[in-house]
Every structure is written in structure tokens, then in C-alpha cells.
Amino acid sequence: KGQILVTWHADITKQTLALFFYRPLLHWFLRKADTIIATSPNIIKSSPHLKKFKEKTTVIPLGIEPNNYIHNHLPSPHNSRYALFVGRFIYYKGVIELIEAAKKTSLNLIMIGEGPLKETILDKGESLIKNHQLTILPFQTDDVLKSYFKHCEFLILPSTHASEAFGIVQLEAMIYSKPVISTNLPTGVPYVNKHNETGLIVEPKNIEALSNAMNSLWNNPETTKTLGQNAYIRCTTLFTQHQMLTKTTEIIKKM
């Protein structure tokens, strides 16, 4: 009963059997909705479900609160330059591809996270760990994690599947003026990060392209700095909590 406002974050991509039975209920619900909010225009284009309801779908990106980040004054948690990955060690994050790409570089990589692929990462990254190029850390406390974002050279989000619907972790790097290397998924990931503007975008699972992008940013600090400055501007212009709440409130008032 009443009016329905839906936020659509991601399609079901892996549980295909469940989706087969769930789809009629899902489409029934979307037909009943008065307004659908998608978190990026890419999702509207790529989702087979939202395509049928484009006329009542609008885009309101996810956002972060800048004041929760920019006043962080913690010193660097690491004694040398490093690139950063933050996320769960699961199939769609591209962590195995990241390890293989890192082997083709000379950079130092810190991976913060936990998950079922941790042992595989430790095994495949053994040579990198011995050479002190790879550090694996569990999830950190909020302030310490922000310190890792603040002092990294750039963030890498090498996701391989559309289960990665947006990548808020990109914003957590961009707010500290850090560029991002991400993948060209049919989701909000390449909407957040713009190729050659706020970072670099490569095709999913393309290890050669990923390693080239990592080398490019690692070896060109001026370019990295410029992309990072652009990343901060894009983040604070489009992806703030204030904008997300304001636009959502405007929609509610019109319902």
C-alpha cells in the first residue's frame, strides 16, 4: 500500500537459478513502484530488468561524507610508496588477476581485506611477498584504513564481474586526491572513475593491460598527481552524501 520508491543498486548476476523463480515477483514489484532510483546511468543501460521501466527511473549516485575523510591527519602507515587494494578476497574482485599483474611491475602493493581467496593469494603471491613487493593485511580500523587511502599512490579496483555494481572504495581514494585503476564493467564502476581523467580503466581480466596501467601510474608521479586532483574534484562534485540525500528528498516531495 502507498507509494513505492525503490533504489536499484545491482542486478542478480550469479544466482541464476534463484533469479529464474524470482524474476516474475521482481518485475511485478518494479511495475508497482512509482519511482526507481538507479545508482548510475550504466546500470539503467545494462540491466535487462530496468530497461522495461526507463521512463520512471532516475539516477542518483551513491555518495560519501567528505568531512569524515579530509580531516584525517594520521601519519603514513607504511615506510615506502605503495599502491592499494581494499576489498573482500572473493571471485568478482579480480584479486588473482591483480597478483598476476603485479608480477609484471616493480611497485609495492598493499592488499587489505579478507575472504575465501586469501590462501590462493598467499600462494600465487609468494614470490612478491618474499621480494617485499606485496603485503597482505586484514581489514583495518576506520582511522587506520583512511590513513592507507590518504598515503597511497593510487587505488586499484580490478573487478571482473558485474557483481561490482559501483565501488564506493573508489570514492574513498578519490576524496584524498588519489587516482583509481578500475575495470570497464557494465556497471557504475567506470561511471565513478573516468579514463584518463580521474584514473585509468582497463578491460576486466586483462592482466597485461592492468600491469601496464599500474606501471604507468607508478612511474609517472606528475600524471598520477594530476589525475588525483581531478579525482577529488569529481568526487566532491558528484558523489557526496549531501547530494544523494538532497536529490532523494526532492523525489519524495514530488511523490
- DSSP string over 200-242: EEE-TT-HHHHHHHHHHHHH-HHHHHHHHHHHHHHHHHH-BHH
Does the pLDDT of residue 18 top 80, yes or no? no
Confidence of residue 173 (pLDDT cuts 50, 70, 90): very high
For residue 164, name the pLDDT band (cuts at 50, 70, 90).
Answer: very high
Tell me the pLDDT band of 136, cut-offs 50, 70 and 90. very high
Q: What is the pLDDT of residue 83?
A: 98
What global pTM score does this model have? 0.92
- Phi/psi for 162 (5° steps) reads -70, 0
- pLDDT value for 15: 65
Residue 146's pLDDT is what? Answer: 94
Average pLDDT over residues 167-191: 97
What percent of the chain has a predicted confidence (pLDDT) above 90?
82
More confident site: 239 or 24: 239
**pLDDT, position 255:** 87
What's the rounded Cα separation, in Å, for the pair 248 and 255? 11
What are 42's three cell numbers?
550504466
In one letter, which amino acid is 249? T
Distance between CA 60 and CA 37 in Å, rounded? 6
Do 219 and 105 meet the contact criterion of CB atoms below 8 Å apart? no
* pLDDT tens-digit map of 86-123: 999 999 999 999 999 999 999 999 999 999 999 999 99
Residue 6, all three cell numbers: 525503490
Which pLDDT score is estimated for 12? 72
d(CA 165, CA 185): 9
- pLDDT band at residue 75 under the 50/70/90 scheme: confident
Confidence band for 14, pLDDT divided at 50, 70 and 90: low
The H-assigned helical ranges of 125-196 are 126-130, 142-151, 168-174, 189-192
The predicted pLDDT at position 79 comes to: 86
Look at the chain and count its residues. 255
Alpha carbon distance 149, 88 (integer Å): 16
Average pLDDT over residues 212-228: 98
By the 8 A CB rule, do 58 and 121 touch? no
- At 169, list the grid cell: 572504495
Query: Running DSSP on this structure, what letter comes out for residue 13?
Result: -
Identify the pLDDT of residue 192. Answer: 98
3-state secondary structure labels for all residues of 59-120:
ECCCCECHHHCCCCCCCCCCCCCCEEEECCCCHHHCHHHHHHHHCCCCCCEEEECCCCCHHH
- In angstroms, rounded to a whole number, what is the distance separating the alpha carbons of residues 67 and 59? 24
Structure confidence by residue, pLDDT tens digits, 26-48: 888 899 999 999 999 999 998 88
98, 110 contact by CB (below 8 A): no
pLDDT number for residue 27: 87
H or E element, residue 29: helix 16-32
